[in-house]
Amino acid sequence: MRNPMATVNITGEQFNETIRGEGITLVDFWASWCGPCQRFAPIFEKASESNPDLTFAKVDTQAEQGLAAALGISSIPTLMVFRDNVLVYREAGALPAKALDALIVQARELDMDEVRRQIAEQQGAQA
């Protein structure tokens, strides 16, 4: 198990070290005043308890405004999923539990060699 707690709160300084390395990391960008964020929180927490081999992190956008701005977070909640230090999903809006579970399955099943090849092709086409 990578992470003794189900969900960890991270700061801007911890963000890069949290998403780097092998494995899957889900990051929930939220704020205490955000109703949809409050409804998504128990769904995110339950998924973290069901998937102890993954890292589940939360970023309070009020406390971490610089990080949220740097990542272009314009609406919350926003969920980002990283696998092996590659952003594989980013979407604003609270997901229902079944959709979050399906997203986790998809992240687990990704062929990361294929993902990296596609990224390299896109970067090559833009150069």
Residues with catalytic roles? 34, 37
Query: In 87-123, which positions are buried (b, 16+ CB within 10 angstroms) versus exposed (e)?
Result: ebeeeeebbeeeebbebbeebeebeeeeeeeeeeeee
Give which of 105, 51, 57 is closest to 79, Cα–Cα: 57
* One-letter-per-residue 3-state SS of 62-109: CCCHHHHHHCCCCCCCEEEEEECCEEEEEEECCCCHHHHHHHHHHHHH
d(CA 37, CA 39): 5
